[in-house]
Structure 1
Amino acid sequence: MMAVVYGAISGILLFWHGAWQLLFGDAAALGTDWAWVLGIVFLVLTVRGVLFPVYVRQIKSQRAMQALQPRVKEIQERHKDDRETMQKELLELYRTEKANPLTAFLPMLVQIPVFLGLFHVLRHLKPTMPEHMKTLYGWTVTQFDSASSATLFGAPIAASLRSGAQELSLLGADGTTVRIVAAILIVTMIATTYLSSRQMILRTGWAEDPQQRTVQRLMLYGIPFSLLVSGLIFPIGVIIYWVTTNLFSLAQQTWVLRKYPPPTSGTPKAGATATPARATPPARSLAPRPGAKPTTARRGATRGR
């Protein structure tokens, strides 16, 4: 199964590399083989473009789920002692309203094998690889040798921050250059991952449920922190893929949140400032001011005495 994924990833990468090579040739500028770097970037754009309709379906289903929350809570309260009946009514509610909780995971489930496939293909790019291994997944020996020596600002895209002296020597790379480029990309990867999660949470608001809020905090802080560790072993080419994916996600979320805004509720979002109520003017006193002339009614009352 994964061999099919590796072949598909290689095919898309080689297609875009070939397209950009027609424009740039084999020349490198700023220590960068742009045909290979842009091949990775457009691999992301191809995958995300294919997944965009799935992402829109995910957002629509998510909005439907948010709108159904009051009815879901009502069913849960009514059948809290009968889980079987509760599940049946919830499934019927989701079916009637065409809301599927599982669609939230579809884009992620599709992207995981793509990411693993690219990770495997880039880790496979080593100059010491035997020739019969270089031609796996539709590569030619010439393409393999070109990709294994491709660089971004002087750092091979097949190298990582943890690449040892022997591996760097085989790649013909300078260790300091690799560490600088990899470190900058890792920081960018972490920052864009954080901004992507923060953008979504700020636009939809913090969840009221403590468990859901914990999940939101995990996404906001836990995932970026985990990338600090994972980034040490990611090849530079994989980090390029991840950064491009995050930038695409930021733009995609901005568009989707404008077109499909989250449902509004009467409760203000966390951090929102409630509009102050208009002050009611104090009741006017009926007692006469000192030195004021008596009104007609008071003068009539005085004459009647």
Structure 2
Amino acid sequence: MDLFAFPPLALLLDLATRALLALTSLLEPLAGGLAAALAVVVVTLAVRMLLIPVGVSQARAEQTRARLAPRLRALQERWRKNPERLQRETLQLYRDEGSSPFAGILPVLAQAPVVGLLYAVFLRAQVGGHANTLLTHDVFGVPLGRSLLGALTTGTMDAATLAVFGTLVIVIAGVAELTRRLLRPAVDPSAPAWTTGMLGVLQFTTAVVALFVPLAAGLYLTVTTAWTLGQRLLLRRRYPLPR
């Protein structure tokens, strides 16, 4: 089912696309042929700034989980044969601390509508019954609507496409590696042991996603990944994890 087939969402998508195109026109005197790409970067930065409170909420939740980890482990050892009692005691512990085990999840969900709208703009050839001309703009000759996978399957792969997407993937993967090295995740004693390794792998999934989405979406992923690392480093200093 196409959610953006519903009139209110279709209108929202059309307005978002027109706003990006208007920003592109505004930036053309400054950026020339890269104006659309710069518009994507500007919008991404604006979205990330609006979501700073979400990042703060996540940092606080991560700090709380890390601080409560020893007490959560004690609860697990005491009530591991009684899952219902363990669940009640865990929820009560978080309530006593003025937090929730879902505190780190809800902020992520808050981003979903914004990210979903941005992706819809980037992925659609037509919006509001007219061509999405945003995707006709390019970065060093590579259209914003082109994906690496699409270039491979349609025979339009060239050196510029490979270089641009390769650069984005390298940057995203590099940021993921820095995130893995610099930001030790808060341990959740209630999670299975294998999830620790899985979290390390998930750091690099964004780089894989960038291979399949249009270049505009790849730019969004690159900017937001770098922003997230910088923001988390600053917030980790404000909300340090217990050693």
Note whether the superposition's TM-score is higher than 0.5. Answer: yes
Match of 1:251 in 2: 230
Q: How far apart are the structure 2 equivalents of 1:200 and 1:11? A: 38
TM-score, normalisation: structure 1: 0.66
Q: How far apart are the structure 2 equivalents of 1:123 and 1:10? A: 13
The counterpart of 2:196, out of the listed 175, 199, 216, is 216
- Structure scoring higher RCO (CA < 8 A, sep ≥ 6) equals 2
CA shift in 2, pair 1:20/1:148, >3 Å: closer
The counterpart of 1:239, out of the listed 218, 236, 239, is 218
Moved more, 181-190 or 18-27: 18-27
Q: How far apart are the structure 1 equivalents of 2:87 and 2:61? A: 19
Displacement after TM superposition at 1:180 (Å): 1.9
CA contact (8 A) 1:60 1:260 kept: yes
Match of 2:140 in 1: 153
Match of 2:128 in 1: 135
Match of 1:270 in 2: none
Match of 1:46 in 2: 46
Displacement after TM superposition at 1:55 (Å): 1.9
CA shift in 2, pair 1:251/1:212, >3 Å: farther
CA shift in 2, pair 1:58/1:227, >3 Å: closer
- Structure 2 unmatched ranges of 5 or more: none
Paired positions, count: 239
Larger-gyration structure (1/2): 1
CA contact (8 A) 1:189 1:239 kept: no
Q: What's the CA shift string for 1:128-181, capped at 9, x where partnerless?
A: xxxxx4435xxx65xx33x13201112111111123489687xxxx73322221
Match of 1:15 in 2: 19
CA shift in 2, pair 1:23/1:54, >3 Å: closer
Residue 28 (structure 2) pairs with residue 24 (structure 1): yes
Displacement after TM superposition at 1:62 (Å): 2.1
Query: Letter of the aligned partner of 1:184 in structure 2?
Result: T
Displacement after TM superposition at 1:70 (Å): 2.3
TM-score, normalisation: structure 2: 0.80
Q: How far apart are the structure 2 equivalents of 1:60 and 1:228? A: 27
1:261 counterpart SS class: coil
CA contact (8 A) 2:180 2:203 kept: no
Query: Which protein has the bigger helix share?
Result: 2
After TM superposition, list the pairs within 5 Å mapping 1:45-124 onto structure 2: 45-124=45-124
Two-structure CA RMSD over aligned residues (Å): 3.3
Q: How far apart are the structure 2 equivalents of 1:43 and 1:56? A: 20
Displacement after TM superposition at 1:262 (Å): 0.9
Residue 162 (structure 2) pairs with residue 179 (structure 1): yes
Displacement after TM superposition at 1:99 (Å): 1.9
Q: How far apart are the structure 1 equivalents of 2:188 and 2:124? A: 46
Q: How far apart are the structure 1 equivalents of 2:47 and 2:139? A: 22
Q: What's the CA shift string for 1:235-254, capped at 9, x where partnerless?
A: 11111000000110121012
